[in-house]
Amino acid sequence: MSEERRARRAATREARSGAGPTVSGVEPGVNPGASAKFGLFGEVLTIGLMMTVVALGVVTLPIALAAGIRHLRRFVAAEDSRAGLFWEDVRAGILPSLVVGVPAAVIAAVLTIDIVVAGSGALPGGQAIAVVGWAGLLVLCVALLAAAGAWSPALGWIGAVRAVPSIVRADAAGAAYLAAAAVFTGVVTWALAPLFIAGIGCAALAVVAVPARRRRGVHHAG
């Protein structure tokens, strides 16, 4: 009898996670793919590596983020999350993404130069300039993450960028979480460059998790 109970509990866990067959009276939970913590961690690292490969071109960072975010959304929803779908998104969006990637890279380069020059003491009011530079980089990172999260082949990059202000207005706390994810990625990369793989994977997961946090809050309030 105990064997039957153990088997039932195991089947129930699998059903709730979306990884196993359905069980009578058991519905998959919200974001069932996220219930397997080690599986999710492994997927974040795997997709982080794939995103890093795409982002090596620098101006291709937006499509790397967008494709990675879409992949993780499919994974946590226990939908089809084959690696091939990630590469399909990359192929569909890489050329159009240059309209975002090139200006973003130029802006980031200008702000970085400002920060470096301000830190050298060559400019009067260097500390204030450095603060503005760092703030500008953070705003740019949040905008990139929000736009990448909104992108789809159907919407396109112009539509995704136009959606950023409404995304931030609708969830200012969520924007703060995205800023924290960007800072985390920057800090771990500065500490050890290969950790960029984990950092960018976690940043993509943050974009997926922020709207889910809002949905859970609305559900509990109801």
Please report the DSSP string for 139-203 in residue order: HHHHHHHHHHHH--TTTHHHHHHHHHHHHHHH-HHHHHHHHHHHHHHHHHHHH-GGGHHHHHHHH
Residue 126 has a pLDDT of 75
Task: Report the C-alpha gap between 54 and 125 in whole angstroms.
Answer: 38
Residue 140 has a pLDDT of 97
Residue 36 has a pLDDT of 59
Instruction: Give the chain's residues under pLDDT 50.
Output: 1, 15, 17-24, 26, 217-222
Task: Report the C-alpha gap between 45 and 199 in whole angstroms.
Answer: 9
- 3-class secondary-structure state, position 117: helix
Residue 5 has a pLDDT of 63
List the one residue out of 51, 92, 89, 62 whose CA is nearest residue 161.
62
Identify residue 92 by its one-letter amino acid code: A
Residue 23 has a pLDDT of 45
Q: Could you tell me the two tokens for 42? A: 């492994």
Residue 21 has a pLDDT of 45
Put simply, whether the predicted model's pTM sits higher than 0.85 gets the answer no
Residue 219 has a pLDDT of 46
